[in-house]
Amino acid sequence: MINMEKEYTSEEDFLKDYDVSIFDRPSVTSDICLFSVSSENQNNYRKLSKKYFSVLLVKRNNYPYKGKWCLPGGFVGIKETSEEAARRVLAAETNLHNVFLEQLYTFDDINRDPRCRVMSVTYMGLVDKNKLDDSLFENASWFNITTLEDNDYYHVTLDNGNEQLKFVVKKVLKEETTDRYKFEIIENDSLAFDHPKAIISGMERLKNKINYTDIVFNMMGEYFTLGELQQVYEVILGKKLLDPAFRRIIAGKVIKTDKIQTGGGHRPSVLFTYKRNKES
C-alpha cells in the first residue's frame, strides 16, 4: 500500500510501494470480426458466380452461451498486446496466419459479459477465402450476410447453409456535432455477447473505407477480372455500380497483366492485379 504521507524521491521507489490492488481491474478480450467474400455455386456457367459478404463465426463449447455462435476471440494475456492476442486466437481457433487486422472498436458496456467486467478490443480482419482450407476449422463456419436497412434499423440474417441466425441492430446518433453514432441491439437470440454490434460496426467501417482506401484488395486473390472485383465492391457497398463509376474508383489501383482467364464457358477475360503487388 502506498504511504500517502511519504515523499518519494524517485519513480523507482514509488513503484516499489505501489499496490496494484487499489483499483479493480477488468478483464480484456480480443475479438475478431473476420470478413471475406464467398462465391455461390453457379449452374449457369455463362454468368459470374454471385458474391456474398461473409463473416467467420465460432460455436462456443463452454458456458456462458454454450452452443451459441460468436466471433473468434479470447482473453488478452498479461504479457501480450490486444493485437497479439487477436492473432494468437485466430491461429489457434481457425489456423489463420498473417491476416490483415485493423482495430475496430472497444466494447465496454458494464454487463456485456455475464461472468465479470469484461471489455472487448475488437478487430476487423479481411481475408481471401479462396486461400483457406475450411476443413481445418474445427468449430468455425463462414456465414453469408444478408442485410435489410430500414431507416436506422439493420435487419441481419446470417446463413452458413445449415443454420440461419438473425438479429436487429439500431443505429443511434451519439454526438450531433461530430455525427458520431453507436449501435443498440434490438433483437438477438442467436449470437453470444454483444457481437451483433461488432459485426454491424465492422460492416460500416469497411463500407466507408472502401471508398477512399485500397482495403478491399486484402480480400482478393493475386489475379482477378474487373468483373469479379466490381462484384466485391458491390456486395460490400450493397448497391450496383455503373461501369464508369467503378472504373473511376479503381483508377490507378490495378494493373492489367498478360494473363487470361479461360474455361467454364466464359469468354476469355483479361486478368488484373493490385498495383502494389507489382511494386513490392
Locate the DSSP E strands across 163-264.
164-175, 180-188, 254-261
Quote the cell numbers at residue 24: 479493480
pTM summary value? 0.88
Contact 222, 271 (CB under 8 A): no
pLDDT tens profile 101-157? 999 999 999 999 999 999 999 999 999 887 776 665 678 899 999 999 998 999 999
| Gap between the Cα atoms of 38 and 49, Å rounded | 9
Question: Percent of the chain, pLDDT > 70?
Answer: 89
Which domains occur in the chain, in start order?
A: 27-209 (3.90.79.10), 215-279 (1.10.10.10)
Contact 35, 202 (CB under 8 A): yes
The distance in angstroms from the start CA to the end CA of the chain is 54
pLDDT tens profile 170-207? 999 877 776 778 899 999 989 999 999 999 999 999 99
Long-range Cβ pairs for the range 270-274 (8 Å, 24+): 270/225, 270/226, 271/223, 271/224, 271/225, 272/223, 272/224, 272/225, 272/226, 272/229, 273/222, 273/223, 273/224, 274/214, 274/217, 274/220, 274/222
Render 48-64 in DSSP notation, one character per residue: PPPEEEEEEEEE--SSS
Report the pLDDT value the prediction gives residue 186, as an integer from 0 to 100. Answer: 97
